[in-house]
A and B are shown apart, each in its own frame.
Chain A
Amino acid sequence: MNPKIMIADDDPRLLGLYEATLKSQGYRVATATNGEEVLARIKDENPDLLLMDIMMPKLHGINALDIIKATPDTMETKVIVITAISDDKTREQALELGAIDYIVKAESNMADILERVNKALR
């Protein structure tokens, strides 16, 4: 079975783009549009990788990350944070909470993102 990737972003344009791109690479994809939704569905979906935005309504990505890594059922899930926030402090925070990578949207094109996703799932 191909790896399943869950994507969380509140912008539907980006969500559509990521979904199409990842599917074209052969991955299975599940989507969410806010932090609460991520938490609600992550157990059922059980993705191999979670690609999550930070600035989302209802529940901040960092808070969601914190909860995911603190819950025994989900703490093993690989998480890559993909965000517009280029602040070093936020990067440190995310990595300390357990994210395996931190992608700044403005600094990465689609090819970069794919490379890092592939690297994470190798």
Chain B
Amino acid sequence: MEFKDNDLFDLELTQKISALTAGAIIIITVALSILMNLGSSNFLRIVLTGTFTGIFTLIYYSFPRLYTNRKLLILPDIVYTVAISMVILSFAEFGFFYFIFYLMIVVNRAFTASTKRLFFCILILCTAVITTNYLQIGKHHIMDFPAFTIISIFEIFWIVSISVILRIFAKNAMDLKKKESVLKQTLETIQKEKQEILTLFNTLTDVILSIDKKNHLTFANNKAFSFLSLKPEIIGKDISGLKYKHADKINSLKELLIGKKIYKNDIKIKCVEGFKRVNLTVTPIYDNKENYEGSIVYLHTLTEEEELEKTKVEFASIASHELRTPLAVIEGYAHLLLTNEKVKKDVEISSYLKTIHATCEDLINLSNNILTITKLESKSIRPTRLETNLSEILEAVASTYAEKAAEKNIKIIVSGQEPPPINTDASKVKEILNNLVDNAIKFTSKGTITIETTKERGEVTISVIDTGIGIKKESQSKIFTKFFRAEDWKTRETAGTGLGLFISKSLANLIGATLTLQSQEDLGSKFSLILPITKEGEK
């Protein structure tokens, strides 16, 4: 790995430290040479060396453009090495001690220089060692050739080994520093992201609780504290005792924290003010070894609109329910009277009772329709999907309306292919077909009503074909809309609120089917319910 000068250490800083060190050394050397009372030539040499080195140091280290120039970096190595060599030569037998300055250069460079520069520095120093020792052979008593060799080898060994060891140390230190800074950055990033997430959680208007596998609460967002009136001390405590109500039964959260699969339901959760309506979702969490680690509890608190929607459905439900029984009673007694022998003999009374009975049935239908529409619009109906015998449904529908059709001298015929069993919601299909046949009877004065089944790839089509008055082209596109009634309905005997086809269309959509119309005025209409055939298990 290439060691760049300013990777770890500030180049400018280290160069400045080098400058200070160099300056100090020069001053000490000059001072020592004065104290040691050297010969005049040696003293002069030292003063000149010191002056030159001092000037160089001043100039070189005063201008950042000089001392941060990569090409000039080797210059101080050369200058100081030569300077120290001159000092060593001047101090003769005491010169050996100035070897320490060689080591100082190498120590500095081991930490601050690139590998190339360090190598050249070592090379320069070793050359200096050999040169200065060679120059001293014969000059004083310890310096002869064998001694020169030993001392040179000794000095070179120390220069090289210290630089290598320190270099390795410096590299390791740099690696550690790099890792440390990466970790620090990662930690900062994580903390920042965690903070962002927490802020996000705390701005939610829904409740989030994080519960560990021992059922202790590890996190609750701000809404949780306010909505459930939690005390701050509850963090870390067992929260599985939190109660909620579902279908009038009171359960505790503990049963849902067993972590098998995601649990979703509309419930009423216990708060200080009582039980409040929420959409509950409990999501279990697993580690990468599929062990249960805890659960996230999410409570969607209902907005005013949602509350209103729920209240609307509840109201429609209750109203419809309360209306049904009295209506059923009126219908039942009207029917009872109509079948009474004495009444049957009286034509006038019979006709009045017939009207009462028919009107009552209309009211019952209206009440049912209102409830159905309310449920459809608030999406409270979930269609079932079971294997259904369509033939049974067709027969039931035909027999339900047989009498009504017979009163108008209309025949109901069931024809077509045998439908295969399909997965769908039987009661919805029945409701749609009942409505279609009912309409067919209403708008047909003579002829037949055919309930025809055809089968094509992937779908079964049940068509209700009548020979009635048909539907005008302009009205055809609006026929399935709410409250739509064919023109001049007031003048016909056809009662109806215009909800039937709207409900049929909505129910068809709900169960994944299509409802279409083909019609010609005065000839008749054909309403087709197209049911897709899906295999078992398919959605």
Contacts and interface: CB of A to CB of B under 8 A. Distances in A.
A106 interface: yes
Contact of B326 (A13, A84, A112): A13
B384 A88 contact: yes
Nearest to B330: A17
Per DSSP, chain A at the interface is: helix
Contacts of A24: 336, 339-340
Contact of B321 (A13, A14, A84, A88): A84
B332 interface: yes
B57 to A, nearest CB: 96
A20 B336 contact: yes
A71 interface: no
B16 interface: no
Nearest to B336: A21
Given A13-B329, A88-B427, A110 B335 contact: yes
Task: Give 7 nearest A-B pairs by CB, closest first.
Answer: A110-B335, A17-B332, A110-B332, A13-B329, A88-B384, A21-B336, A17-B329
Contacts of A17: 328-329, 332-333, 336
Interface string A10-46: 0101100110110010000000000000000000000
Interface in A98-120: 105-106, 109-112
A63 interface: no
Contact of B335 (A11, A21, A106): A21
Contact of A110 (B331, B340, B386, B425): B331
A105 B324 contact: yes
5 contacts: A14-B332, A17-B336, A21-B336, A84-B321, A109-B328
B325 A11 contact: yes
Contacts of A112: 400
A20 B336 CA distance: 8
Contact of A106 (B324, B326, B400, B426): B324
B271 interface: no
Contacts of B384: 88-89
A18 to B, nearest CB: 8
Contact of B427 (A11, A86, A105, A109): A86
Contacts of A14: 325, 328-329, 332
Contacts of A84: 321, 324
B386 A88 contact: yes
Contact of A88 (B324, B326, B335, B425): B425
B134 to A, nearest CB: 107
A18 B329 CA distance: 9
Nearest to A24: B336
Contact of B331 (A11, A18, A88, A109): A109
Contacts of B403: 111
B253 interface: no
B309 interface: no
Interface residues of A, number: 18
Interface of A: 11, 13-14, 17-18, 20-21, 24, 84, 86, 88-89, 105-106, 109-112
Contacts of B329: 13-14, 17
Given A84-B324, A106-B368, A20 B333 contact: yes
B361 A109 contact: yes
A91 B360 CA distance: 27
Contacts of B339: 24
Contacts of B386: 88
- Most chain B CB within 10 A, of A13, A17, A20, A89, is at A17
A14 B425 CA distance: 30
B130 interface: no
A15 to B, nearest CB: 10
Most buried by A among B329, B336, B361, B427: B336
B404 to A, nearest CB: 11
B325 A106 contact: no
B364 interface: yes
A58 to B, nearest CB: 16
Nearest to A104: B427
Nearest to A25: B339
